Structure 1
Amino acid sequence: MSTSLPPRSLGVGRVLIAVYAILALAATARSVVQIIEDFDAAPVAYALSALSGVVYIVATVALVRPGLVWYRIAWATISFELLGVLVVGTLSIFDQELFPSDSVWSFYGSGYLFIPLVLPVLGMIWLYGRRPAVTTDQVVAPA
């Protein structure tokens, strides 16, 4: 049994990867500045910004790299991203004391034009369209 993966860095994939790369840079840079300048003011928010930066970096790399393992890593990071945006977005609305300062995922990514909310959904749709095609080289008869 072998698997074949369509290339992920062509066409719309390039745009998706570019947006992930920009978000990775923005989230990471923002978190570094926040942590250096004022970590004590909002440690949860700033730590989550750092986490989101790491998630975006790994997702970007996974989207660029070929192969089944990277395809699965892309799914895992993008799924984690969506879960993070939904959980942090909801918590930031209902427990504003936990988030005295915004993180990338606060208020569902409103500080980033809701791109953190929309991007993982688009990424999942796009990845689904590039799922591995499983082929069998041999037909195995039941024993």
Structure 2
Amino acid sequence: MSQQPSVILATASYDHTIRYWEAKSGRCYKTIQYPDSHVNRMEITPQKRYLAVAGNPSIRLYDVNSASPQPVMSFDSHTNNVMAVGFQCDGNWMYSGSEDGTVRIWDLRARGCQREYESRGAVNTVVLHPNQVRCLLHWVSGHL
């Protein structure tokens, strides 16, 4: 088995394929099929262990160091496109935002949605405040 690259890039597109790249050489060293939907957003955990892949309507968590193409966890509570995903600095919890108008907080140790917030419209972006406690969100409203 080859050594894991020190700098990893991950890409995905509407072709339902996730690719891992060695940044220094530009070599694609792993390809994963993502048949569920197109990929809207990806984020690597702060410890660089997992890659969260957000689609419609689920989030799949892949082990970056595993040769397996199967996700290690799935998060399926959203009902529409998941447009935002991110992690708290210790990597124990994840947040997500969806076009279903919700922001969800997931505890990766408990493997489930711990909290849900409803917005006034589809959520396109969620950013964790630097204090690691508050989430800021951006939504699109149908009203002008």
- Whichever structure has more strand as a proportion of its residues is 2
Fold equivalence (TM over 0.5): no
TM-score normalised by structure 1 residue count: 0.23
Higher RCO, 1 or 2 (CA under 8 Å, sep at least 6)? 1
The structure with the greater share of residues assigned to helix is 1
